[in-house]
Amino acid sequence: MPSLAIVGSQWGDEGKGKIIDYLAGKADMIVRGQGGSNAGHTVVSGGKKYALHLIPSGILNRDSVNIIGNGVAFDPQGFFAELEALARDGAPMGAIFVSDRAHIVFPYHKTLDALYEKERGGEDIGTTLKGIGPCYMDKIERSGLRVCDMLDIDDFRGKLEAQIDRKNRVIERLFGEEPLDKRDITETCVEYARRIRPYVRDTAVMVYEAAKAGKKILFEGAQGALLDIDLGTYPYVTSSHPTSGGFTTGAGVGPGLVSEVLGVTKAYTTRVGKGPFVTELENEIGDKIREIGQEYGATTGRPRRCGWFDGVVARYSARVNNVTGIALTLLDVLGSFDTIEICLRYELNGEKLEHFPARLGDLAACRPVYKTLKGWNADISRVRTWEDLPEETKEYILAVEDAAGVPVKIVSVGPGREQTIVREEVF
C-alpha cells in the first residue's frame, strides 16, 4: 500500500496523533496539507508526552521526512517554538521541510481572530485564536504572504509593512482598537525569514518524486471532517479542508496518490467550540467520559463536550472522505459503563433522516435514535489482540462498523504505541 491518508472522522481530537505516530514508523514521508497551529496532537513516545501543533506527528521518527505542505497556514513563531521544545527535550527527530507556497500566519492574524470572535458576541465560533481564519481569509482574498516571500528579505519587509498598515486600518477604524506595533512585528518576522531558509522547499515536487519512487507516504490530517469549511457544521468549522480531498490539494499532488483512507474515530464523540451536537451528554455520563478520557483541549485547555458514538456522523464522514478503514480510538475510556449507547440514525420532526443535514437548525432539532449495548466493565488497556478483548467490547466494535459502514481495522486501547490492536494491516 504506497500511501495512506489519516483523517479525523468527527470534530477533531480523535487521537490522530497516536495513530499517525504508530503508523509513521512505516512511512518514508509524512505530509500535512491543511490547518496550522490550531491542531493539537499529543504523542507519547519513549514514555514522554509531546504536544505538537504545526509539526507533523511523524517528526519523532528519526528516519522520517516531514512536510508542511502548501495548504497549511504556516505560523513561523509556532514552528520554531515547537522545534526548540523538541530539541530541549532531546526528542528523536526526523527531517522537516515547509512548502514555499504555504501562507504565513502573522501576529495580526491572531489579533484579528480575537477581534472577530469578540465582535460575534454570543454567536462566536470558539476558535483556537491561532489566526487560522484570518490567514485563510487573506489567502482567498489574494492578499496573503507566502513562505516564498520570505526568501527575499527586503521585498518581504516591504510587503509585510504594507500588510501591517492595512490591518492596522481595520483594527483602528473597524474595531476602534490601538494599532499594532509595525516595527516590532516586522523585525520579529524578518528574523523568522532569516531562519526559515534551510527548511523551505518546493515540497510538492518532493511528495511527487517520493511517490514515483514507490516511497510510502502518509498524509496527516488535522481537525476532523465535521470541521471542514465546505462539509462541516458551518459556520462552526475551521477554515480549511480537513478531509482527504483537502490533503492532496494541500500537498500539491493529485487525489490518485491516496490509496487508503483511515478514518480515526473516537469510541464516543467530543467537540470543542460551539455548534449543534446531537449525541451530546450534558449530564453525569458526559462528565464521566470527560474525566476518564481527559477530554480537555490540547491547544486551548478547554473542556471538551462529550457524547455517545454518532453513527450518522461516522457514515457521513466515511462517504465524504472515501474512508476505507476505521481506527477506533479511546475504547478503553468506555470500560466502566453498564450500558453504552450508539446512535444509529436521527429523527427530525418524526421523520427518519438518512443523511447529515446542512441546516444547523435542523441538526439542533434532530433526535438521536440509539441502540443500547451491554458495557464490558473491564480495563482493556493491556489487551493486545482481538481474541483477548471481552465479548461485549467486540460486539461494540462490530456495532460501530455496522453504523459507519466501514471495517474497523485498528483499535486503540491507550495512548502508548504498544496499546494498539491491528485487525488488518493498512500501511
| Residue 269 in the binding site for ligand IMP (CB under 6 A) | no
Residue (130 or 315) nearer to ligand IMP, CB: 130
The amino acid sitting at 298 is A
**Is the bond preceding 235 in cis, omega lying within 30 degrees of 0?**
yes
| Residue 132 in the binding site for ligand IMP (CB under 6 A) | yes
Say if residues 323 and 9 touch (Cβ distance below 8 Å).
yes
Q: Please tell me the distance from the alpha carbon of residue 251 to that of residue 142, in angstroms, as a whole number.
A: 19
The amino acid sitting at 121 is G
Of 96-104, 220-228, 260-268, 332-340, the window that binds ligand IMP (rule: CB under 6 A) is: 220-228
Q: Closest approach of Cβ 24 to ligand IMP, in Å?
A: 18
Residue (145 or 222) nearer to ligand IMP, CB: 222
Q: Please tell me the distance from the alpha carbon of residue 400 to that of residue 344, in angstroms, as a whole number.
A: 9
| Residue 419 in the binding site for ligand IMP (CB under 6 A) | no
Q: Which of 17, 69, 107, 273 binds ligand IMP (CB under 6 A)?
A: 273
Residue 158 cell numbers, joined: 516591504
Q: Which of 239, 243, 244, 393 binds ligand IMP (CB under 6 A)?
A: 239
Q: Which of 7, 39, 225, 421 binds ligand IMP (CB under 6 A)?
A: 39
Tell me how crowded residue 121 is: count the other CB atoms within 10 A of its CB. 7
| Residue 246 in the binding site for ligand IMP (CB under 6 A) | no
Q: Which of 3, 9, 10, 38 binds ligand IMP (CB under 6 A)?
A: 38
Instruction: From the candidates 13, 113, 228, 310, give the one annotated as an active-site residue.
Output: 13
Tell me how crowded residue 384 is: count the other CB atoms within 10 A of its CB. 14
Per DSSP, the three-state class of 168 is helix
Residues written for the chain: 427
The amino acid sitting at 292 is I
CA 244 to chain centre: 12
Instruction: From the candidates 28, 41, 103, 332, give the one annotated as an active-site residue.
Output: 41
Tell me how crowded residue 345 is: count the other CB atoms within 10 A of its CB. 18
Q: Please tell me the distance from the alpha carbon of residue 279 to that of residue 251, in angstroms, as a whole number.
A: 34
Q: Closest approach of Cβ 39 to ligand IMP, in Å?
A: 4
Of 200-208, 232-240, 353-361, 392-400, the window that binds ligand IMP (rule: CB under 6 A) is: 232-240
Residue (296 or 370) nearer to ligand IMP, CB: 296
Residue 217 cell numbers, joined: 507516504
Residue 228 cell numbers, joined: 471542514
Is 13 an active-site residue?
yes
Residue (232 or 245) nearer to ligand IMP, CB: 232
Is 109 an active-site residue?
no
| Residue 126 in the binding site for ligand IMP (CB under 6 A) | yes
| Residue 330 in the binding site for ligand IMP (CB under 6 A) | no
| Residue 12 in the binding site for ligand IMP (CB under 6 A) | yes
Helical residues (DSSP H) of 230-307, grouped into ranges = 244-249, 284-293
Would you name the residues annotated as active-site residues?
13, 41
Interaction site with ligand IMP (CB under 6 A): 11-13, 38-40, 125-128, 130, 132-133, 222-223, 227, 236, 238-239, 272-273
